[in-house]
């Protein structure tokens, strides 16, 4: 696989949304926009009872923001628009009236941790270590922070945000509450995700919809909050520190 894609398939009440990018499943602006559309469509489709969110490939679930696009940002407004892409995805997942199951097969970095955290029920392989790398490049996990904090708590989020060079293993993420279960292989993960989704399809859709509202209560201000956080990230990405760091990563 060499070209980015996003697919959405519906079978027996399960909508499976899959994204892929050859650069370790990083998410440029166009893929983020497509992801928002796919999540919204699944939420509005009466045939869909549950959503599975996954990525293609084996080694990385999501490497976060596209470094190529980060390096191309020349002004604060462009930066705001780019980081708003992650805000829009998280808010779409939050507002989707269907449960979203995260299938995390590999390493997850930065914005990818935010996406995983915004799922309603997250299942992972033992290879799915996580890292919040934003401070390492001079930005900070401002947009994804609320979603990560909601799952890991302030202490857990702060730990991985400050220790921005370290991958924390899947078992740590399970103990902190990001992952519900961790499996020894991708094959076992896929079997478990499918079985879990099929079981959810036997539940009352209205009950699940109301339960999701309860689970996300207290986040009603996130449209504004994440937009404000995108402005902060959009400003910081223009700093000399970040520009020089991105050049080294290139």
Phi, psi of 130 (to 5 degrees): -125, 150
Would 193 be classed as within a structural domain?
Answer: no
Would 170 be classed as within a structural domain?
Answer: yes
pTM of the model: 0.96
What are the DSSP E strand ranges found in the chain? 5-11, 14-20, 50-55, 60-62, 99-104, 107-109, 121-125, 130-131, 181-183
Phi, psi of 196 (to 5 degrees): -65, -45
- Provide the 8-state DSSP code for 126: T
- Residue 1 pLDDT grade (very low, low, confident, very high; cuts 50, 70, 90): low
Tokens of 104: 């995390």
Would 164 be classed as within a structural domain?
Answer: yes
- Residue 174 pLDDT grade (very low, low, confident, very high; cuts 50, 70, 90): very high
Would 167 be classed as within a structural domain?
Answer: yes
Q: Give the closest residue to 104 by CA, choosing from 89, 86, 124, 121.
A: 124
Q: Which domain holds residue 157?
A: 5-187
CATH no. for residue 41? 3.90.226.10
Would 218 be classed as within a structural domain?
Answer: no
pLDDT digit string (tens) for 35-85? 999 999 999 999 999 999 999 998 899 999 988 898 899 999 999 999 999
Would 152 be classed as within a structural domain?
Answer: yes
* pLDDT value at residue 245: 87
- Residue 190 pLDDT grade (very low, low, confident, very high; cuts 50, 70, 90): very high
Compute the average pLDDT of residues 166-182: 98
Q: Is the pLDDT confidence value at 226 over 90?
A: yes
- Provide the 8-state DSSP code for 49: S
- Residue 2 pLDDT grade (very low, low, confident, very high; cuts 50, 70, 90): confident
Q: Is the pLDDT confidence value at 249 over 80?
A: no
Compute the average pLDDT of residues 242-250: 81
Number of domains present in the structure of the chain: 1
Distance CA 103, CA 215 (A): 20
* pLDDT value at residue 250: 63
Would 248 be classed as within a structural domain?
Answer: no
* pLDDT value at residue 62: 97
Would 198 be classed as within a structural domain?
Answer: no
Question: Exposed e or buried b for every residue in 143-161, given b needs 16+ CB within 10 A?
Answer: bbbbbbbbbbeeebbebbb
- Residue 20 pLDDT grade (very low, low, confident, very high; cuts 50, 70, 90): very high
**Residue-wise DSSP of 10-48:** EETTEEEEEEE-TTTT-B-HHHHHHHHHHHHHHHH-TT-
* pLDDT value at residue 220: 97
pLDDT digit string (tens) for 111-144? 999 999 999 999 999 999 999 999 999 999 999 9
Contacts with 211 (C-beta within 8 Å, 6 or more apart), sequence order: none
């Amino acid at each position: 696989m060499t070209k980015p894609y996003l697919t959405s398939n519906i079978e027996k009440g399960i909508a499976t949304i899959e994204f892929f990018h050859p650069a370790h499943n990083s998410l440029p602006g166009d893929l983020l926009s497509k992801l928002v559309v796919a999540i919204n469509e699944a939420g509005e489709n009466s045939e869909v009872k549950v959503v599975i969110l996954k990525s293609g490939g084996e080694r990385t679930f999501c490497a976060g923001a596209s470094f190529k696009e980060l390096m191309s940002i020349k002004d604060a407004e462009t930066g705001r628009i780019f980081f708003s892409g992650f805000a829009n995805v998280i808010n779409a997942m939050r507002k989707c009236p269907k449960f979203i199951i995260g299938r995390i097969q590999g390493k997850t970095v930065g914005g990818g941790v935010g996406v995983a955290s915004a799922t309603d029920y997250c299942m992972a392989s033992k290879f799915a270590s996580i890292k919040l790398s934003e401070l390492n490049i001079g930005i900070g996990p401002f947009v994804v922070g609320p979603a990560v904090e909601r799952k890991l708590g302030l202490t857990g989020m702060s730990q991985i945000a400050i220790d921005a060079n370290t991958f924390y293993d899947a078992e740590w993420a399970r103990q902190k509450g990001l992952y519900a279960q961790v499996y020894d292989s991708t094959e076992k993960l896929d079997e478990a995700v499918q079985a879990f989704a099929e079981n959810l399809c036997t539940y009352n859709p209205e009950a699940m919809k109301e339960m999701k509202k309860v689970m996300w209560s207290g986040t009603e201000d996130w449209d504004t909050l994440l937009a404000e956080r995108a402005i902060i990230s959009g400003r910081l990405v223009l700093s000399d520190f970040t520009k020089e760091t991105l050049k080294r990563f290139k």
